[in-house]
Amino acid sequence: MPEMQFRVRWPDGAVESCYSPSLVIKDYFQPGASYPLEDFLARSRTALNIASARVEARYGHPCSLALGQLARIEGAAARFITFPDPHVAVEGFDE
């Protein structure tokens, strides 16, 4: 399966490289786009769960790396819940 990294900029300006075992991320995010925090979380959950399911269909087990990445995204996002109008920018994809 083609894996990829996607770079995000959190509301505090920190940049993080995130992992996906599938290119499905490209169906949910556009490079250069900024998403309200809750929308970013919903898109991340959907895309990374689909990616994990694709690994499971192919290899017989969910992708622990995709699910771990989702947990890290959710943990990081929790820091910004109280920010006024928090947005997460998708800076780009690295295949």
Question: Between helices 37-59 and 64-78, what is the axis angle to 10°?
Answer: 170
Tokens of 23: 């290119």
> Is it the case that residue 17 has pLDDT exceeding 70?
yes
> Which pLDDT belongs to residue 95?
81
Token look-up 């940049």 returns 15
What is the pLDDT averaged over residues 66-87? Answer: 96
- Terminal alpha carbon distance of the chain: 12
> Is it the case that residue 78 has pLDDT exceeding 90?
yes
Token look-up 């979380």 returns 41
User: Are residues 17 and 94 in contact, defined by beta-carbon separation less than 8 angstroms?
Assistant: yes
pTM score = 0.93
User: Are residues 3 and 22 in contact, defined by beta-carbon separation less than 8 angstroms?
Assistant: yes
